[in-house]
Amino acid sequence: MTAVLRVEGLKKLFPVRRGLLQRVSGHVQAVDGVSFEIAAGETLCLVGESGCGKSTVARTVMKLQQPSAGRIWLGEEEVTDLDEAGMRPHRRQVQMVFQDPYSSLNPRMKAGELIGEPLENFGVTDLAQRRDRVLALLDKVGMRADAADRYPFEFSGGQRQRLVIARALALQPRLIIADEPVSALDVSVQAQVINLLMDLQEEFGLSYLFVSHDLAVVEHIGHRIAVMYLGRIVELAPKRQIFAQPLHPYTEALMAAAPIADPAARRDRLVIEGDVPSPLNPPAGCHFHTRCPYAQPRCRTEVPALRELQPGRWVACHLRDAHSVADPETAP
């Protein structure tokens, strides 16, 4: 079966300009060779610390930013080098839900106009037909019909995000890219929006690229998880395997840092020291070696390849090399 989205070796560099003439003095390596694919009806979650490049991956895959290198396929069509006009036929397949629902909605347009705008742009010119479709979408996201005649400022944060989701559904896409879609919402509202996304996925067979730093949200909605650190994927595996036994030291540290609802629960923590290195001048070898308690000499010079250790389980770590330490707990 053809994947809904396939990404190979994706890189994104941002030039750093300095001086009076604004000459390029270097590049920020926001994304450094990321590869993954998403199947129909699947949710792949990108997780990691702020600044790891996960939102840049989302925007580059959406072609809001042109990739510096690598290849992107939507279904069977490669879209890597397409300009905005060339991407237009593919826009129906992929839509985006942004982190801040208010800033992604035009405050001068009513909700019905916002949801109906994609339909108008792609050929649904009949007003009655468009209105019926808008009301149906509002119902799908749990909102009343009279919401169509109200402005964005008249809604709560959770309601605005429902409007954004309804707008994303308007063209019946195969893939929705959700960039921290619930991080700006209250916890109770987060649960409602996440459950809505899961219900819509089941009903329409949607695929999601879900960007988040919240492991509790990821555990609830995800099927597979890709853990990013400083522009690279360091671990990619089914959700159950990641949460049961993380294999990369960075993944282990992320899991250990996540809060537990039970105040009596205790667990060993892997403490990582220091700050995330600058993407303007990332470390040689494994990017994580400057903070990894298990780092070996080869980690400082050799870039670990993302290897499939078990079916569907990928890890980029020298500690998991058959010729190196097999288990981080036994590492010096």
Q: Are 164 and 175 in contact (CB under 8 A)?
A: no
Q: Reply yes or no on whether the pLDDT at 132 is more than 70.
A: yes
Poorest-pLDDT segment among 1-5, 200-204, 218-222, 258-262:
258-262
Mean pLDDT throughout 273-288? Answer: 88
Query: What pLDDT is recorded for position 235?
Result: 96
Mean pLDDT throughout 104-118? Answer: 94
Query: What pLDDT is recorded for position 265?
Result: 65
Mean pLDDT throughout 141-158? Answer: 94
pLDDT tens profile 61-90 = 999 999 999 999 999 999 999 988 899 989
Q: Reply yes or no on whether the pLDDT at 156 is more than 60.
A: yes
Phi-psi region of 274 (alpha: psi -120 to 50; beta: other; left: phi over 0): left
Poorest-pLDDT segment among 28-32, 133-137, 181-185, 208-212:
181-185
Q: Reply yes or no on whether the pLDDT at 189 is more than 50.
A: yes
Structural domains in the chain, CATH included, are: 5-93+173-330 (3.40.50.300), 94-172 (no CATH)
Residues 6+ apart with CB under 8 A from 244: none
Mean pLDDT throughout 109-114? Answer: 95
Query: What pLDDT is recorded for position 25?
Result: 86
Whole-number Å distance between alpha carbons of 70 and 7? 8
Q: Reply yes or no on whether the pLDDT at 331 is more than 60.
A: no
Whole-number Å distance between alpha carbons of 67 and 27? 14
Mean pLDDT throughout 269-298? Answer: 86
Q: Reply yes or no on whether the pLDDT at 332 is more than 60.
A: no
Q: Reply yes or no on whether the pLDDT at 321 is more than 60.
A: yes
Nearest to 228 by CA among 7, 79, 2, 3: 7
Query: What pLDDT is recorded for position 13?
Result: 94
Q: Are strands 207-211 and 175-179 parallel, antiparallel or unpaired?
A: parallel
Q: Any idea what the Cα angle at residue 172 is, between residues 196 and 118, rounded to 5°?
A: 105
Q: Are strands 313-315 and 307-310 parallel, antiparallel or unpaired?
A: antiparallel
Q: Are strands 207-211 and 43-47 parallel, antiparallel or unpaired?
A: parallel
**What percent of the chain is modeled with pLDDT above 70?**
93
Q: Any idea what the Cα angle at residue 253 is, between residues 249 and 254, rounded to 5°?
A: 120
Mean pLDDT throughout 233-248? Answer: 94
Whole-number Å distance between alpha carbons of 236 and 228? 9
Confidence of residue 326 (pLDDT cuts 50, 70, 90): very low
Phi, psi at 236, each rounded to 5°: -140, 120
Q: Reply yes or no on whether the pLDDT at 294 is more than 60.
A: yes
For 71, other C-beta atoms within 10 Å of its C-beta total: 15
